[in-house]
Amino acid sequence: MAEMNLVQAINGALASEMRQNNDVVVLGEDVGKVGGVFRVTQGLYDEFGENRVIDTPLAEGGIIGTAVGMALYGLRPVPEIQFADFIFPAFDQIVSEVAKFRYRSGGEYTCPMVIRTPVGGGIRGGHYHSQSPESLFIHTAGLKVVCPSNPYDAKGLLLSAIRDDDPVLFFEPKRVYRAVKAEVPEEDYTIPIGKAKVVREGNDVTVVAWGAMLFEALASATEVAEQGVDAEVIDLRTLWPVDIDSIVESVKKTGRLVIVHEAPKACGFGAELLSLAVEKCFVHLEAPPVRVTGWDTPFPYTLEMEYLPLQHRITPALLETAQYVP
Amino acid sequence: MQTQTQVVPIRTPEQSSGDDIPTVLQPDGTLNEAHDPKLELSEVLDLYKAMVRTRVIDGQLERLQRQGRIGFHIGSLGEEACIIGSAAAMREQDWIFPCYREFGALLWRGFPLQSYVDNMYGNVDDVVQGRQMPDHYTGRPYRFGSVSSPIGTQITQAVGFSWAAMSKGSDEVSSVYFGEGATSSSEFHTGLNFGGVMNSPTIFLCRNNRWAISVPSEKQTASESFAAKGIAYGVPGVQVDGNDVLATYKVVREAVEKAAKGGGPTLIEMLTYRVGGHSTSDDPRAYRVQDEVERWRKTDPILRMKLHLEKIDAWNEEQDEAFKKECEAELKACIKAAEAKEKPPLETMFDGVFAEKPWHLEEQQAELLSGPRAKDHH
Ligand SMILES: Cc1ncc(C[n+]2csc(CCOP(=O)(O)OP(=O)(O)O)c2C)c(N)n1
């Protein structure tokens, strides 16, 4: 076991899967010689050569479109989109093609691929290097969506994603790319897609978070513990298909739910989670479920820390929800 | 000057000027009369000074970023001639659609340096109040667009804008900047196609600076040149020595005049070189050899012009030093002022999403204002 950060764990998982499976190819802008602008693909070009680690021309539609063709033929492409904010030129390919191939061809053609892309704010990136567009893809039937918060999960989830027979969007929380470290086993292991993890057990209120916001939620849980509120924190890990059983089980226990995400509130994934909780746990709820999210504005530059749903906003939400009396 | 496409594969600085590619200023500072736009000496000096000022600002901003005083800068070291020459070739009534590397063009248009520096700090006096990253400026009063990070989006917009002007009987022309990497984007191909079909008065300015972050130009295209891409769209494509401010001026000016008379768009590939990193987030030593950079430095656009001006006794070292000092002092004062300014007020976050604030933003604004403040994590 070695201590690694998120970048190293993802890099290591890619390398190990590429060694085991010759069909795995990486493609994207700057992924080759320089190893990606965040260095997540560092060393792969030297080890596997330019036919398996492809520096593409600057066109996301081209990256995903050619990845579709590769996948249809039988390869396992792992395209990288340099920032999730730049995924939109590929939106047509992802929504109209990647997501629908299995269904529309009766399974004759499938598009197994893992689209890796860094998401989230807090890095002084402004509008176009900070967004969290997960709900657009969750809304599109046929896509799995994953967002690990730590190196251990990242490796296990990435290996599952590459081996999955369906397309997976793999969102990497760039704010904690280097900040979160963990012991990561050298050997092969997978973490199943569709399984959340209770990272802190508690009885008073359930907090659901993922990616970089998980750490804010955990910090708030510690903070409210001093005031006698015992929060249960769930790291979703897979956003879609969501681990509804874990959420229901927790909410039945606590009766209270707080959802945290960076994306704007309107039609954010929190809206779906909240609806599911109401549909499935209505009689168990003891307080109105609450969303702590980014505001419904474009992602700002100077005021980004006031935009993000950080500890200072999660803590009061936990206290109010836990102490709510009808 | 050839107006039809030339197909010359450009890989080295030595190929970036020569018989097929109009060059006025030779690297040793001598003048090639054949292509000389014959500007007044005062105009030539203005071009030179604008390039020097751009370079001084670049150097200082990079330093500020290293010191953590600003978050980001994307510079134009080595590309000053193609940026200033092309901006100067636009007439007063014309419009400029920027990519993100053309603050030199913005300042050429008369945008106050203080406003530019305020944008670098994202402070309360920034035109867009810190909503965007540094170097993402907006300058409508200066007939200058608004910077967006996503590659290529401005190209089709410039087509629509310039066509709209033409449809109203105006002779306003629009130019649009992008790097050679952006020629791979669908917006480039759509933009050229629409521009060709609509005969829009658009000047497509491709800064071929050889690198798109770490990707070299030969991985961007299998064409022999970027100018050649015009052929498919019926848009004339030309190459110009983009490290030659006078040649760039001349080629762009001719294209502008043609477009203003209903002659349609032109694609201009300006051959230059990105001497610095892609931005302050990039270290080019990871992917290119220093020797290549040194060879390009020999064709340096500022050096070339300086040699020329010295040859004709229009400028000397003393004046040069004094002018640089002047630029530094001007910038220093702007930085000092910008650093003393407040952040934009919290409520500005909710302004400008719509013309009028809907109920949900009113509600969220109230929630933010009455809620706890974030620690400043940066
Ligand atoms: C749609 C999109 N994809 C990726 C990026 C990330 N990115 C920013 S600049 C850049 C390279 C641009 O190269 P080029 O067009 O040659 O212009 P240059 O930076 O060299 O001036 C890339 C890939 C982006 N901004 N937008």
How far, in Å, is the centroid of ligand 1 from the Cα of A63? 14
Q: List the catalytic residue out of B63, B66, B140, B287.
A: B287
Mean pLDDT of B4-31: 66
pLDDT at residue number B28: 85
**B28-42 residue pLDDT tens:** 888 988 889 999 999
Please give the single-letter amino acid code of residue A209. Answer: A
Contacts of A33 (CB under 8 A, 6+ apart): A45, A55, B214, B286, B287
pLDDT at residue number A4: 98
Strand residue runs (E) in chain A: 2-5, 24-28, 53-55, 76-80, 114-119, 144-146, 168-173, 181-184, 197-200, 205-209, 231-235, 238-240, 257-264, 290-294
Q: Which residues of chain A have pLDDT under 70?
A: none
pLDDT at residue number B6: 38
Is B278 catalytic? The answer is yes
Chain B residue with the nearest C-alpha to that of A293 = B364
Q: Among A291, A302, A314, which would you mutate to test the B interface (most chain B Cβ atoms within 10 Å of its Cβ)?
A: A302
CB–CB of A306 and B361 under 8 A?
no
Chain B residues inside the 8 Å CB shell of A85? 149-150
Radius of gyration of chain A (CA): 19
Give the confidence band of B9 by pLDDT, cuts at 50, 70, 90: very low
**Contact status of A45 with chain B (Cβ, < 8 Å):** no
B8 pLDDT higher than 50: no
Give the confidence band of B377 by pLDDT, cuts at 50, 70, 90: low
Shortest CA gap A249–chain B (Å): 31
The residue that leads in pLDDT, A279 or B12, is A279
Bridge partners (DSSP) listed for residue A171: A117
CA–CA dist B107, B84 (Å, integer): 9
Would you call A84 helix, strand, or coil by DSSP?
A: helix
H helix and E strand count, chain A: 12, 14
**Contact status of A303 with chain B (Cβ, < 8 Å):** yes
Of A89, A124, A307, the CB nearest to B72: A124
Mean pLDDT of B158-171: 98
Structure tokens at A268: 């954010």
pLDDT at residue number B15: 65
- CB of B204 within 8 A of CB of B97? no
**A313-324 residue pLDDT tens:** 999 999 999 999
Stated as kind and residue range, the H or E segment containing B97 is strand B95-97
How far, in Å, is the centroid of ligand 1 from the Cα of B238? 22
**B57-104 residue pLDDT tens:** 999 999 999 999 999 999 999 999 999 999 999 999 999 999 999 999
CB–CB of A296 and B221 under 8 A?
no
pLDDT at residue number B4: 37
Mean pLDDT of B18-47: 88
Give the confidence band of B13 by pLDDT, cuts at 50, 70, 90: low
The residue that leads in pLDDT, B16 or B145, is B145
For residue B184, give the DSSP letter: G
pLDDT at residue number B160: 98
**Contact status of B154 with chain A (Cβ, < 8 Å):** no
Mean pLDDT of B303-328: 97
Q: Which of residues 204-233 of B touch A (CB under 8 A)?
A: 212-215, 219-221
pLDDT at residue number B26: 86
B304 pLDDT higher than 80: yes
- CB of A119 within 8 A of CB of A171? yes
**Contact status of A29 with chain B (Cβ, < 8 Å):** yes
**Contact status of B72 with chain A (Cβ, < 8 Å):** yes
- In this structure, the number of other CB atoms found within 10 A of the CB of residue B367 comes to 11
pLDDT at residue number B21: 81
Domains of chain B and any CATH numbers? 13-344 (3.40.50.970)
Domains of chain A and any CATH numbers? 2-184 (3.40.50.970), 197-323 (3.40.50.920)
Is A284 catalytic? The answer is no
Q: List the catalytic residue out of B35, B136, B210, B278.
A: B278
B2 pLDDT higher than 70: no
How far, in Å, is the centroid of ligand 1 from the Cα of B313? 41
Alpha carbon separation from A24 to A21, A214, B365 (Å, rounded): 6, 30, 47
**A137-166 residue pLDDT tens:** 999 999 999 999 999 999 999 999 999 999
pLDDT at residue number B34: 84
CB–CB of A128 and B213 under 8 A?
no
Q: Which of residues 241-280 of A touch B (CB under 8 A)?
A: 265-266
pLDDT at residue number B7: 38
pLDDT at residue number B11: 53
Chain B residue with the nearest C-alpha to that of A130 = B133
Pocket test for ligand 1, best of B72, B100, B136, B151 (most atoms within 8 A of CB): B151
